[in-house]
Structure 1
Amino acid sequence: MKFSAFAFPLVLAFIGSSLAAEYTCENKQVVSTSYIGENNNVKAETLSCSNTLPGFAPLAATSDDPSNVCGANCTTNCFYPSGGGPDPNDCQVIADALLYDSQNVGPLFNITANTSGVAMTYASCETFIIDQASYNLTYCRSDWSSVLEYVAFNCQATQNAHGGNCVATDQRWFIQVQSSTA
């Protein structure tokens, strides 16, 4: 899995402001809640949202689109300006819980179609993955852990940011890291 970082607002202007937009789940419905990790201290929720990332509509499947997107590339976007971001050490707890579950539950998980996702929360950190495709996707817990670590430690106040996201190259899914509202 590869992901690219764009740390400068000037670069973001060239790729489009909608990629760097913070996502808020509209008409959020929590489908299920559980706790994961070795200490069962990370809240995991399956969500249903009525919207996609600003500027993107749900994508239809083609015969060339695999449903397993493990290892797929994504582009990192930091949210500017700084202030109010999560503690990256809290995000590390979620990253470790994802790795623990990868080894003890299984490496893969499913995200259902059309703006449904999975959210993880621990202390000040919240991360979620949203499926923007019109079909179900399968993703790797270890990949999510890697993206989470990267965004949490590279999109914080020292970079004049307050969280960020990583949008799949084909825009079928994205992962966001932000401050927890809980």
Structure 2
Amino acid sequence: PMRTKEDMEKLWDYVLDGTLSCVGSDHSPAADEEKDNATKDIWHAWGGLNSIQFFLPMMFDMVVNKKGLSPTLIAKVMDYNPAKVFGLYGQKGAFELGFDGDIVIVDPEKEWECRQEELLTKGHVSCFDGLQGKGTPICTIIRGKVVAADGAYKEDAIGYGKYVTPVKAD
């Protein structure tokens, strides 16, 4: 699990040396009161992090700005390889004819800062609070529909998610 900037640096070292072929994040948001130390102990607090909002920006900053590598590496280990591993290639994993048309457009010069109070999830606790970088998603398209732009979800995109099953082999 990634909990610090150092963990992120090690993560990409493992990608580069071939130890890891896929990088991803689950999203386990918890309301602030579900993680409240005053009422919850380690055995009763909700697990997980609110990191999905900053996952791609953190990865872009680390790979492109800090390590000087191509953003295509991000696409490979966060999209193409996972689609292959989970049997989704043919629908997911590439921006090609016949695929779903999922894409995130990133402004490589736009700066960002993770601020807990500005998280768009139901919880506002992040171990990345205060982390800064460059490379901000400015438009997210799912199945050809713009679902987020300029830091805000589109109202008509709420509930637009779709359960995806493995592609059947011929």
TM normalised by structure 2 equals 0.27
Structure with the bigger percentage of helix: 2
Structure with more relative contact order (C-alpha pairs < 8 Å, separation 6 or more):
1
TM normalised by structure 1 equals 0.26
Larger Rg, first or second structure (1 or 2): 2
Structure with the bigger percentage of strand: 1
